[in-house]
Chains A and B, each alone.
Chain A
Amino acid sequence: MERVSSQDALKRAVLDEGLCAACGACVGGCPYMTTFRGKTVVLDRCTVEHGRCYRYCPMTEFDPDAVSALVFERPHDTEALGHLDRVISSQAADPAVAALGQGGGTVTALMLLALEEGIIDSAVLTRILPGEEYARGVVATTTEEIQAAAGSKFVGSHSLAAVRQALDAGHRRIGVVGLPCQVRSLRKMALYDLKQENLKERIALVVGLFCNWAFSSRDFAAFLAPRFGPTSIKRFQIPPPPANVLEVETDDGATRVPLDELRPLIQESCRTCPDMTGEFADVSVGMYEGMPGWNTLIVRTSLGTRLIEDAVRTGRLRTDAFPDSNLEHLKKAALQKRKRASQA
């Protein structure tokens, strides 16, 4: 009988079950698997038994206590938002940066600062490259490259494949902006570090993005193509409830698509994901509902605290309090996602 390889196990547990989150962790540097138009595709069978593909996948076994011990030096905090230092609101002080971002440009401002201060030497971000239809991971090492990746993509993008690219390029302090599933994968990389690549140090900064769900990028592209043409889309926005629409901003203005039409395009994996806020990130950033131009910012680790303090001190970031009523609302939303996942 043939032994079960990591790839076999991944196929069985995740890919064949339709549970791939399209995070990209398995495909980076692997000749046996690739991404194609938003899907993870197995090209050939790999026989490696202790491979990274299965171990680093966010959809396989996840030990929250072990990851918490690694990141926060304490057991997993089962509160709605995970372990945190504080929750505040923020926006990029530079209006040009704020305008690039989805909410208040906080993520872009933080990554720019981290690069400038040498906290990171490269940033793995998600971007739709000119002329391309699908978002992908890029390794950014300049201000321009970081700014070009601003804005939410609303899809699974396989962007963690670029982490392998950054590692192969020899980057020693990599900052990554990712969805909660990707944050989990990044922490599994650091925890298991199967090839002793010093990933705990080299994945130097993890910025989590709030996420309720993401679209399958292939299905989303297929949905958009006949309606908007290939390249005219500038930005997506989901206005706060009760709008229940996706705003598609094109050269010809904004069009509203009812979210109910889009729900079938949501990745199956999102329905089983319990994490709305990226509970294991250094900092997590999301929209501030009802406050256009601002973000909700959860500071979780000492590195996160230091980064925010530096950002405020150097005038990169403006912060404000996050009212208790909003916090309760945020927690409620996070618990709702957790509940949905437990019932999935």
Chain B
Amino acid sequence: MSLISLDAPGREILLMGNEAIARGALEAGISVAAAYPGNPSSEIIGSLAEVAKEMGLYVEWSVNEKVALEVAAAAATSGLNALVAMKQNGLNVASDFLLNLNMTGIRGGLVIVVCDDPAGISSTNEEDSRVFARLADLPLLEPSTFGEAKEMVRFAFEVSRAIENVCIVRSVTRISHARGNVILGPLPSTRLVPYFDTTRSFSALPPSITHPVAHRRLKQAADMLAESRFNGYSGPETPELLVIASGAGVLFSGEVIDTLGLEARVGLLKIGTTWPLPEKLILERLRTAEKVLFAEEVDPVLETNVKALFADNNQRLPRITFLGKKSGTIPDLGELSPGLMTRVIADLTGTAIPDIDADYAESARDALENFTPFRSLAFCPGCPHRASFWAIKKALALDGRNGVLFGDIGCYGLGFLPTGFRQPKTLHAMGSGAGMASGFGKLHDLGATQPALTVCGDSTFYHAAIPALINGLHHRSNFLMILLDNSATAMTGFQPHPGSPVDAMGDPAPPVLLEDLCAAMGIKTLIRDPFDLDDAAMTIFELIQETGTKVLILRQECALVRAKKTPRRYRVHVDPAKCIGEECGCNRFCTRVFRCPGLNWDVSAGKSVIDEAICAGCGVCADLCPRGAIVKESA
């Protein structure tokens, strides 16, 4: 049972940042929430889906972020409050619509929560989506605590309704995925009824008329934000060092000032309304500043905007030394951390960093070594992707023409690592593997001899790969699209997708099947089981001998989903009498090359062993052992 719908104003409860965001949306009285899953944003819509029925919401996992924003915009042009959540890459997908929606505005409330992933902990990039706010002339807020995340979302809806345009909230992994105490506010007792006022139109055309409106709305937002309690200053009137921080930078800087006892020397200007800036407040602080340090994550957004503000007002301001990403004081990539901020602030103020208790340091090191063994990024035990990449590897080796596998986004994105035998050679955005394969498959006309292949997950296929497939088909491109169909949006937490028989709220939904879509396009489409390695490999081999656009669906349920529903298919063990270990003719083939985490190398025995605790019982390794030493028995 979810805590986010708890009707207990004033109660303090522990929530994950994303749950706090969802709660904020509930307190703001949303009616519609939509998203395409993507870490670190997935739990926002996930937790709203859980309470959808109870709270009278419509919640959906949309096919992609652009459609999610369009679904929400339909609600918000009909007077409702609607929330859209996405990761940073998702905003790119949604941006084409967003940069037109901003021109027309809305009639209700529409908040986009974009969860950035500094350091790319679960992403291919670490782009700073705050730049979109300026690009789209839309206000953007940045929470620095869990409680503030909730409050800010509620406030964002106020702003959005007031200016009749979208408001963006930017979270980051450390806020979305950590937990903290949140004080609950009241839930609205009334629901809005959707009505599209047909006396109004929402057309971006012509920009000569709509662009000035967007600017006017932004100005209106600026006035609201300038008065916001999410901005504030603490510290001496004339600080030696003024730290201007947003997001997690606020927390870390505050902690460092406190730890180093610099409260009387260093000031902290917290900016919660990153765009448009609270200019009056900032100018007030700059008047008494000598040295300014910016603490923000990824790009120098705050830094650049404050410097521009300084330039506009320089005649009334002192000479100031600005330190941040531009000066190299703070790295211009990755996350901030308390350690980093300690070193920077201690250095700038000439403060000694207090020694860490030697005993504590040692016990921390021990704990780290004992409880967090080194693990390489790898597919789960029994993951069908491992088998699929094995089959692809074999087919390409047998083919011998140095085929190129274009990768895509999903768990199988890890395929470029040893766990996927380094098979995919590209990794960019959702659906890009198919697009690049479509392009490479045309280079055969220009003399290319390498076969073109792409892998694409089921959810990714619906999201963005279908247009690329159609493109390839229409242009008679020679490539094989391998759909790694594990029947789940596995990487983000098994959300349903259009191929699922159920929707986000648990209601039955008509599945749109991969094979039906491909058949409707008239593409040659085969379905195979990746666990039947030789059959899968030979099928791939045969398909890449043919010209034209082909689809192979490698269908096997995600091992994690399967494990929740069905017992293991096989009990697997190693017969030590047959295992020859490091000898010629094996050379630890199973643990060194196949590398399933369920297979361990027993150093003292010089034999492989199955880790029964995590073995998923797929039985694939038994088919690979050159000595028949891995035995699978039907469980």
List chain A positions with a Cβ less than 8 A from chain B: 6, 29-32, 34, 36-37, 39, 41-44, 46-48, 50-53, 194-195
Contact = CB atoms under 8 A, between A and B. Distances in A.
Nearest to B590: A31
Interface residues of B, number: 17
Interface in B366-400: 393-394, 397-398, 400
8 contacts: A30-B585, A32-B589, A41-B397, A43-B394, A44-B393, A44-B589, A47-B587, A51-B584
A222 B439 CA distance: 31
Given A31-B589, A50-B584, 16 more contacts: A30-B585, A30-B626, A31-B586, A31-B624, A31-B626, A32-B587, A34-B398, A36-B398, A41-B398, A43-B394, A44-B393, A44-B421, A44-B589, A47-B592, A51-B587, A53-B584
Contact of B593 (A6, A34, A44): A44
Interface string B591-635: 011000000000000000000000000000000101000000000
Nearest to A31: B626
Contacts of B398: 34, 36-37, 41
Interface of B: 393-394, 397-398, 400, 421, 582-587, 589, 592-593, 624, 626
Contact of A52 (B584, B589, B593, B626): B584
A6 B393 CA distance: 21
A42 B626 contact: no
B394 A194 contact: no
A46 B582 CA distance: 11
Given A29-B626, A31-B589, A41 B584 contact: no
A43 B397 contact: yes
Contacts of A42: 397
B422 to A, nearest CB: 11
A29 B397 contact: no
Contacts of B586: 31
Contacts of A32: 587, 589, 593
A46 B587 CA distance: 7
A165 to B, nearest CB: 12
Contacts of B592: 47
Interface centre among B584, B586, B593 (most CB of A within 10 A): B584
A240 B592 CA distance: 53
Contacts of B626: 29-31
Provide the main secondary structure of the chain A interface. loop
B585 A29 contact: yes
A52 B585 CA distance: 8
Contacts of A53: 584
B400 A39 contact: yes
Contacts of A50: 584
A46 B585 CA distance: 9
Q: Which 3 A-B pairs have the closest CB atoms?
A: A31-B626, A51-B584, A36-B398
Contacts of A52: 584-585
B198 to A, nearest CB: 65
A53 B586 CA distance: 12
Contacts of B393: 43-44
Given A29-B626, A30-B626, A32-B589, A48 B584 contact: yes
A48 B397 CA distance: 20
A252 B560 CA distance: 59
B421 to A, nearest CB: 8
Contacts of B589: 31-32, 44
B568 to A, nearest CB: 25
A31 B585 CA distance: 7
Contacts of A51: 584, 587
A48 B586 CA distance: 9
A327 to B, nearest CB: 43
B356 to A, nearest CB: 39
A44 B626 CA distance: 13
A41 B585 contact: no
B400 A41 contact: yes
Nearest to A53: B584
Contacts of A39: 400
Contacts of A47: 587, 592
Contacts of B593: 31-32, 44
Nearest to A36: B398
A338 B292 CA distance: 84
A32 B583 CA distance: 13
A176 B589 CA distance: 29
Contacts of A195: 583-584
Contacts of B587: 32, 46-48, 51
Given A30-B626, A32-B589, A194 B397 contact: no
A245 B593 CA distance: 48
A215 to B, nearest CB: 18
A150 B398 CA distance: 30
A229 B131 CA distance: 66
A207 to B, nearest CB: 26
Contacts of B583: 195
A39 to B, nearest CB: 7
Nearest to A168: B627
Nearest to B583: A195
B164 to A, nearest CB: 61
Contacts of A34: 398
B500 to A, nearest CB: 36
A299 to B, nearest CB: 35
B93 to A, nearest CB: 37
A51 B592 CA distance: 17
B214 to A, nearest CB: 57
A16 B125 CA distance: 38
A42 B587 CA distance: 15
Contacts of A46: 587
A39 B587 CA distance: 23
Contacts of B582: 48
B584 A194 contact: yes
Contacts of A29: 585, 626
A229 to B, nearest CB: 19
B590 to A, nearest CB: 9
A224 B398 CA distance: 21
Contacts of B421: 44
Contacts of A43: 393-394, 397
B580 to A, nearest CB: 10
Contacts of A31: 585-586, 589, 593, 624, 626
A37 B395 CA distance: 13
A125 B568 CA distance: 43
Nearest to A35: B398
Nearest to B582: A48
Contacts of A6: 584
A35 B524 CA distance: 29
Contacts of B397: 41-43
A233 to B, nearest CB: 23
A41 B393 CA distance: 12
Contacts of B394: 43
Interface centre among A39, A43, A47, A195 (most CB of B within 10 A): A43
A39 B585 CA distance: 19
B588 to A, nearest CB: 9
Contacts of A30: 584-585, 626
Contacts of A48: 582, 584, 587
A36 B624 CA distance: 17
Interface centre among B393, B394, B585, B589 (most CB of A within 10 A): B585
A162 to B, nearest CB: 15
